[in-house]
């Protein structure tokens, strides 16, 4: 049990390493949370820093989820809930990082990494649906929401353990909460589209 707690704590600390913030400080000496949409994630990195840094942030954020779940599998002594909670802890760390005054991103890339290890089949299907939505609408936020909302249903359909189901449900609730401003803007028809004008962007994905 002690090792499981250590793994969960380590996963949160790992998630708290915000590569978007670090990349912006390194490349432009700015706090990315004060530019673009104000979000510390890959999409806003694309807006503010460009494609190369955005891709690096996206992959590194995915890696956080992967490593957290692997850590849970290693320290969990076969308990199914431990890697799930470790993945969730990394997502919480990404969203509310202790190293950056608890103001981070929205956790989608880290969720992708965690689910790629926990449940690659359902994650791939949900990911394909999200990519299709983004391609058709150019709304990254809408694709992200579709991804997380589909996951609990797909995990249930594939017969995964109950810990995976409640874990994915918590992830979905957190993601929808973090995207609440995007949802309001989608309803109003004022949400920023991928590749759109950077001027005046606030609170995007």
**pLDDT single digits (tens) 92-132:** 999 999 999 999 999 999 999 999 999 999 999 999 999 99
User: Comparing C-alpha atoms, which of 97, 8, 101 is closest to residue 61?
Assistant: 97
Distance CA 106, CA 101 (A): 15
Q: Which residue has the tokens 């503010």?
A: 48
Residue 195's pLDDT band (cuts 50, 70, 90): confident
Reading the block at residue 163, the tokens are 């810990």
In this prediction, residue 193 carries a pLDDT of: 87
Q: Is the pLDDT of residue 192 over 60?
A: yes
Residue with tokens 């401003």: 181
Q: What is the pTM of this model?
A: 0.89
pLDDT of 194 reads 82
| pLDDT tens digits, one per residue of 163-172 | 999 999 999 9
| Helix intervals (H) in the chain | 2-15, 19-28, 42-49, 51-75, 81-95, 108-118, 120-137, 140-157, 162-178, 180-188
- The DSSP call for residue 169 is H
pLDDT in tens, 46-99: 989 999 999 999 999 999 999 999 999 999 988 989 999 999 999 999 999 999
pLDDT value for 200: 38
Mean pLDDT, range 29-35, rounded to an integer: 94
Q: Which residues, including other chains, have CB under 8 Å from residue 186's CB and lie 6 or more apart?
A: 139, 141, 142
Residue 197 has pLDDT above 90, yes or no: no
């Amino acid at each position: 049990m002690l090792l499981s707690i250590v793994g969960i704590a380590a996963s949160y600390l790992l998630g708290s390493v915000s590569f978007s913030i670090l990349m912006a400080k390194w490349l432009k000496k700015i706090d990315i949370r004060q530019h673009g949409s104000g979000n510390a994630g890959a999409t806003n990195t694309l807006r503010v820093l460009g494609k190369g840094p955005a891709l690096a942030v996206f992959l590194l954020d995915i890696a956080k989820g992967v490593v957290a779940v692997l850590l849970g599998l290693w320290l969990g002594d076969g308990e199914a809930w431990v890697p799930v909670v470790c993945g969730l802890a990394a997502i919480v760390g990404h969203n509310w990082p202790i190293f950056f005054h608890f103001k981070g991103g929205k956790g989608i890339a880290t969720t992708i990494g965690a689910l790629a290890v926990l449940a690659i089949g359902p994650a791939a299907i949900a990911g394909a649906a999200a990519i299709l939505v983004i391609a058709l609408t150019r709304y990254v936020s809408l694709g992200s929401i579709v991804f997380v909302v589909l996951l609990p249903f797909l995990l249930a359909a594939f017969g995964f353990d109950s810990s995976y189901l409640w874990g994915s449900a918590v992830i979905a609730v957190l993601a929808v909460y973090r995207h609440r401003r995007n949802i309001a803007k989608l309803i109003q028809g004022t949400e920023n589209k991928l590749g759109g004008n950077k001027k005046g962007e606030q609170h995007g994905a």
